[in-house]
Amino acid sequence: MRKHLLSIDDLSVDDVTTLFTTAAEMHDVQHRQVKKLPALRGRTIINLFFEDSTRTRSSFEIAGKWLSADTINIAAKGSSASKGESLRDTVLTIAAMGVDALVVRHPASGAALQVSQWVDASVVNAGDGTHEHPSQALLDAYTLQRRFGGPGSLAGRHVAIVGDLTHSRVFRSNVLLLTMLGAEVTVVAPPTLMPSGVGSWSREVGFATSYDLDEVLPKADAVMMLRVQRERMSGGYFPSAREYTVGYGLTRDRLRVLGPDVPICHPGPMNRGLEIAADAADAAQSAVLEQVSAGVAIRMAILYHLLAGEETP
């Protein structure tokens, strides 16, 4: 693996395989009574979050702590521009304290890449604007692969990603990773929530697009529902929550179309009743809580490989 994890494009299939192998070992640690490994003792990881986050921040924090790293959270909400300090100055100040890794969440696309160009520490992109969220994609693919039967089992599986694609970093990372692992991906959204230029992009990366969820669902081996922010209605992206749910929600009726073994994923937080019905969120086939649990294991694997090199844990 390289020094940073900024985008799924930074990873090869071998890197992903290595991460998943390590994550499986870490996953076992999660179920021990004593969860701490000494791997990153003496290393310092700062979770630098310029945007509110509960699950991603705590997931990275627990991951760092179980690896015995000193993990510190810094909330730097509000653009540094408005405070008169440049992002570069903010980041250099924190890096100067002596940091081995910066886990960066920022509301602006590209921020983690920019940060990586300014500091010596390893940088993990924990979500940059509407660009990428690579650790989320890794935990999603890892979760699905476990469901499907282990390494290599994603190949040829049909995954539907449904929702606000335009504003989703989860979609952007997932479509790259799932296609890399051989899955057939169809992304579903109304035209207003399709990213610009998705036609040529999808041909190049190798995924399909659709406006019709009911056509896609019957052939799906897994469904990934994305959060739809209610604020999007005022932007004119769709007329009403009701209309969105009728067109693109995983409703109780649509749940019946899915096979009983088809995993339902959601990166959270869920808008129950909007993009996902309670019946679907809580169904036996729902993978939502497995995703959260896998998130810690994947983030342990990421931090381990970025900071501890190629030694075995």
* Closer residue to other proteins, CB minimum distance, 115 or 294: 115
Question: Which residue type, as a one-letter code, is found at position 105?
Answer: R
Candidates 122, 245, 227, 226; CA nearest to 174 is 226
234 binds other proteins (CB under 8 A): no
Residue placing its CB nearer to other proteins in the complex, 157 or 169: 169
CB-nearer residue toward other proteins: 38 or 197: 197
* Segment interacting with other proteins, rule: CB under 8 A, options 110-118, 209-217, 226-234, 255-263: 110-118
Q: Using CB under 8 A, pick the residue from 51, 61, 100, 128 that binds other proteins.
A: 128
Question: Is 172 a residue that touches other proteins (CB under 8 A)?
Answer: yes
Maximal C-alpha separation, the chain: 55
Site for other proteins (CB under 8 A): which residue of 42, 197, 259, 260? 197
**Which of the stretches 33-41, 103-111, 180-188, 285-293 binds other proteins when contact is defined by CB under 8 A?**
103-111
Phi and psi dihedrals of 287, rounded to 5? -110, 10
5 contacts: CB under 8 Å, gap ≥ 6: 11, 122, 123, 124, 125, 134, 135, 302, 306
Mask 131-150, x = binds other proteins (CB under 8 A)?
xx------------------
When the beta carbons of 175 and 255 are compared against other proteins, the nearer one is: 175
In sequence order, the 6+-apart residues with CB closer than 8 A to the CB of 147 are 222, 261, 263, 287, 290
- Neighbouring residues of 27: CB distance < 8 A, sequence distance ≥ 6: 293, 294, 297
Give Cα separations from 65 to 115, 249, 300 (angstroms).
23, 37, 9
For residue 43, which phi and psi values (nearest 5 degrees)? -95, 150
- 182 vs 199, beta carbon nearer other proteins: 199
First vs last C-alpha separation in the chain: 16
Rounded to 10 deg, the angle between the 13-30 and 55-66 helix axes is 80
**Relative orientation angle of helices 169-180 and 198-205, to the nearest 10 degrees:** 30
Cβ closest to other proteins, residue 143 vs residue 209? 209
Angle of CA points 284, 154, 312, to nearest 5° = 100
Residue 143's φ and ψ, nearest 5 degrees, are: -60, -45
Closest CB to other proteins among residues 33, 117: 117
Stretch that binds other proteins, among 17-25, 111-119, 220-228, 267-275 (CB under 8 A): 111-119
- The CA distance from 168 to 161, in Å, is 11
| Residue choice 58, 114, 153, 293 for contact with other proteins (CB under 8 A) | 114
| Binding residues with other proteins: total (CB under 8 A) | 30
Nearer to other proteins, 176 or 213 (CB): 176
Q: Does 89 bind other proteins (CB under 8 A)?
A: yes
- Site for other proteins contains 268 (CB under 8 A): no
- Which residue of 12, 21, 79, 192 would you call a contact of other proteins, by CB under 8 A? 79
Q: Is 81 in the site for other proteins (CB under 8 A)?
A: yes
86 touches other proteins by CB under 8 A: yes
In the complex, the residues that contact other proteins under the rule CB under 8 A are: 79-81, 86-89, 106-111, 113-114, 128-132, 166, 169, 172, 195-201
